[in-house]
Amino acid sequence: MGNAIVTGSASGIGAAVREALDAEGHKVIGIDLRDAEVVGDLSTSAGRATAVGQALQAADGVVDRAVLCAGLGSHIEDLPLIASVNYFGAVEVLDALQGALERGNEPAAVVVCSNSARFGPFDEHPFVLACLDGDEAKARALVADENGFIAYAGSKHALSRAVRRRAKPFGEAGVRLNGIAPGPVETPLLQGTRDHPLYSKGFDGLDIPVGRLATPAEIADFITIMLGPRAAFMLGSIVYLDGGNDAAMLPERF
């Protein structure tokens, strides 16, 4: 087993991923604001560069697994911050790790997206397009006048497309890149959304056919499958792991 870099490793899904990869025997290098091998801030370009530099130093420049998990919920008042962490904090780190992943053993990366990415008219949304253009200043300015749902789900929509766009170049370089789109998972992020007077309303009547929320360990288990040899033919997939929520809301789309 080799080196695994996990962003957002201090809490929720990221903490469960770090535990699962640790149990598989990987050397896990977590990046988070606190309680991590690399304590750093992924909300700025400079913070990302410093954190990636320290993580790559700890990995001796070779990365076998990467999980881009750090994120903020729709209840966060600072909407540009949601864009900076959820989209740019994932994509910039992923791109910065590509070379080290190419030197890894059967390397694979999973980006934690969200099934909310399909719950809006996002295809041509200016905020989404600014993200995809890599224009962080423009994306931050555009999202400032929106609401938490657009900031969160729009950043996850852009992130899913960023994964799809990179699947071919990463794959041709020998790195399997996929995304996972969880539905509601019992974590502090979700609790923050549920505690918010406005965004908690999104949970009223939420249709989850399996009848419950996911645990972080369930999502982490699936991520380890996506990272490992049983998923050797999986590339560029956005896997919905949401108890049937997406199918219930959008039964005619796939």
Range 6-25, binding ligand NAI (CB under 6 A)? 8, 10-14
Residue 151 within binding range of ligand NAI, rule CB under 6 A: no
Residue 189 within binding range of ligand NAI, rule CB under 6 A: yes
**Is position 199 annotated as part of the catalytic site?**
no
Residue 30 within binding range of ligand NAI, rule CB under 6 A: no
What are the residues whose beta carbons fall under 8 Å from the beta carbon of 177, sequence distance 6 or more? Answer: 94, 108, 109, 110, 111, 163, 166, 167, 170, 171, 235, 236
Chain CA centroid to CA 154, Å: 13
Considering only 17, 55, 71, 93, the residue that binds ligand NAI (CB under 6 A) is: 71
Considering only 19, 24, 41, 78, the residue that binds ligand NAI (CB under 6 A) is: 41
Residue 49 within binding range of ligand NAI, rule CB under 6 A: no
Residue 106 within binding range of ligand NAI, rule CB under 6 A: no
- Backbone φ, ψ for residue 72 (5° rounding): -125, 150
Calculate the alpha carbon distances from 49 to 42, 52, 56, 57 in Å: 9, 5, 10, 12
Q: Under DSSP, is residue 155 helix (H, G, I), strand (E, B) or coil?
A: helix
Q: Which residues are catalytic?
A: 152
State the residues that interact with ligand NAI by CB under 6 A: 8, 10-14, 32-33, 41-43, 69-72, 85, 112, 114, 182, 184-185, 187-190
